């Protein structure tokens, strides 16, 4: 195992120990929580070292960056990998995103959902998507307003090439993880409401390196970890 892979494996073990502790506090099975390695800005070699360390799910923010990294990484990996788009997506990049990614976590408007459905149809595939919710009403962030999430879920439900699997949110940055609990709780309640009519919405993607334990306590099934695995990004 390479030195980088060993370092990532140690960090992953520490993250998983914290996942287990948070799940225990919430009376949850830690196996319900999966780690998405946020590999944005890191090279393909780091992704492959992470695969060597035993983690196969990755999150990227930009289609253009992913287009350079994802195909060669898939070709070089001995394992089946799963790539999620977690950044905002423009409609004119929908087809390329549908080619590159297994899951689009950032669907936040009807026009984008329709574009992805057309792209997936042209490619002959079904595409998993999540509905991104702007849970703290931040004007600079993407995401559907919570009140509009039910109608977006209804639309995606009739688009034949899309499978809506859950909700995603990026709450407002807080100086203390505990402050984010209210945001995570609001998303969990919305998730519970939507699942009554859309039982396929199983997943709840929320929580990052600084606050994932609180997110798990509030019901996260996917946590997005970058710094916790790879260390600080170079500006």
pLDDT tier at 232 (50, 70, 90 boundaries)?
Answer: confident
d(CA 224, CA 226): 7
Rounded to two decimals, the pTM is 0.95
Which domains are assigned to the chain? 3-227 (3.20.20.10)
Q: What is the mean predicted confidence (pLDDT) over 227-234?
A: 86
Q: What is the mean predicted confidence (pLDDT) over 177-185?
A: 93
d(CA 148, CA 126): 24
CA angle 135–136–141, rounded 5-degree value: 85
Q: Which of 134, 128, 76 is nearest to 108 (CA)?
A: 134
- pLDDT at residue 234 in the model: 63
pLDDT tier at 173 (50, 70, 90 boundaries)?
Answer: confident
pLDDT tier at 235 (50, 70, 90 boundaries)?
Answer: low
pLDDT, tens digit, 9 for 90 and up, residues 95-139: 999 999 999 999 999 999 999 999 999 999 999 999 999 999 888
Q: Which of 196, 84, 203 is nearest to 133 (CA)?
A: 203
């Amino acid at each position: 195992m390479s030195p980088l892979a060993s370092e990532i494996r140690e960090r992953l073990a520490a993250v998983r120990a914290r996942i287990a502790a948070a799940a225990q506090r919430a009376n949850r099975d830690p196996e319900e929580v999966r780690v998405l390695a946020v590999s944005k800005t890191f090279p393909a070699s780091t992704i492959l070292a992470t695969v060597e360390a035993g983690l196969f799910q990755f999150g990227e923010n930009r289609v253009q960056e992913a287009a350079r990294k994802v195909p060669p990484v898939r070709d070089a990996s001995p394992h089946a990998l799963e790539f999620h788009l977690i950044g905002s997506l423009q409609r004119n990049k929908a087809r390329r995103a549908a080619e590159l990614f297994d899951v689009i976590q950032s669907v936040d408007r009807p026009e984008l959902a329709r574009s992805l459905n057309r792209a997936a149809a042209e490619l002959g595939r079904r595409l998993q998507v999540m509905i991104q919710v702007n849970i703290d009403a931040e004007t600079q962030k993407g995401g559907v307003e919570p009140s509009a999430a039910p109608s977006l879920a209804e639309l995606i439900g009739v688009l034949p090439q899309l499978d809506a699997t859950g909700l995603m949110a990026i709450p407002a940055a807080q100086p203390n993880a505990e402050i984010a609990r209210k945001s995570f709780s609001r998303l969990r309640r919305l998730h519970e409401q939507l699942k009554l009519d859309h039982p396929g919405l199983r997943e709840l993607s929320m929580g990052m390196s600084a606050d994932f334990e609180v997110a798990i306590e509030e019901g996260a099934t996917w946590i997005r970890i970058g710094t916790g695995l790879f260390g600080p990004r170079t500006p």
